[in-house]
Structure 1
């Protein structure tokens, strides 16, 4: 508990310090030409990585906020059952923020709290607790004079604060965890094109996962996404946008004692639709995702749906 309090205190202190340079770097909240980092969890569970890390929000380029993210999967109850009968629910409540350091460089950080559940013939199994913390530096490589084109890139690290349960890797979904127990490293690249009321975003990121103290290594992960935004309404204080797109995820095989584990790789493709709304220094957004394709854990796990909702305060 002391560890959690210290981490949250440092996170808030950093935000407060960043607010002191607001006058020189501040960009008005209702700004349709900036992006922030939208950090989703991965398919198969938040523990296995940082999921689809995409710059997929157009409001509040400097912010602190809270995000709720839910995932639903179907899995095999045991090896002798062909049908996918086990419901698995991954839920995350996340504190996150993006803080400017210079005109082109900023720092993104997130601290999740997970509460997961899976339904088995022996009864429901629940786990909850703090997850792995993410910290990333984001650099703006390109921002054209007419603001039509923008290119951002980032490097980051996932700090293993979440508990890794060695017993959990024996199930159908070894990612039913609070954390990987490993230091993982992330790379992200994002391109945005915007003109008038329309914006199009392309994002790709890769997470290199390392071996933890239990000699278990989750497979590295590649995410890619394309999303379009359209401004539905705007005045001096309010802006409302709709968004839709595709998001894909590819997972390498897990390893234990450097031996490849079967039925641990996979991929999935989602279609998504959502909205974002801003009022003064507040922004609210949400989206629903449904799978267009799912082949996880050799077919032993099927992606069903995802839902997210966030509220941010501009700083």
Structure 2
């Protein structure tokens, strides 16, 4: 049988109201009484029922965060940044993984609503934001993360992915590469489409340059390896001389395919740039050039926007970060040998 507040009160020789004050307003109770109640709590193994307390208060101390792939180190860093800012405010983050599935996303959001969370951080699984907007209209603040919204009730914190794609392709073009390939997908993912758009703009500005689009069903290491193995099978003159991968996981998979006895040298035969600058990028078999996104800052700023909305503070509702190109061995100039 679970130990309740009445059991603690009886063991400490105080009233139920005194136990409640020790748990919620210890400044109203003498130090000796607080110590006696805490001793009883430890002896009995009492765990407070936060769910019941939150129902009475009408709100919890939690923020909901839904991301498309918690296995991606980028989103793990976003979650870490969100937790850091929430902890500063005495709050916790409840994490949901949508797998880019709208139904799973909806299930997480409904659960968060039942838990009376204070607000929602969300990387949406689709462009249809109508259902999400209803949360904001119902008094639950929502901030989109890694996704920009130009109008409406929703706040957002994002990165300029079009500029990121332009940075990556421009760097490869400046290194003398002319047969570029973009590996990513599906293009229904907003960030993938924006990165491709930026790369296309950069390539269009160089008359002799071309950009091949190699679309994959997901942004994983395995999909990158599959794309790399297909390129290995091509005749040398049909291969690109540079690849821009839509994220670092794809890029790591491509590097694996090129490195396992294929005869393809990176960067001499194929230069490469990834996206996100996860920790693995610098530690890859060939250190990977990558477009850096401030992942932790995205999570931290998303929670900060939520807290400002909860406090009724007037603030910028949309924050946009600029990406940064980090150049490493995978895209350096060709060797003379």
Structure with the higher fraction of residues in strand conformation: 1
For Structure 1 versus Structure 2, the TM-score category normalised by the shorter chain is 0.3 to 0.5
Structure with the higher fraction of residues in helix conformation: 2
TM, length-normalised to structure 1: 0.33
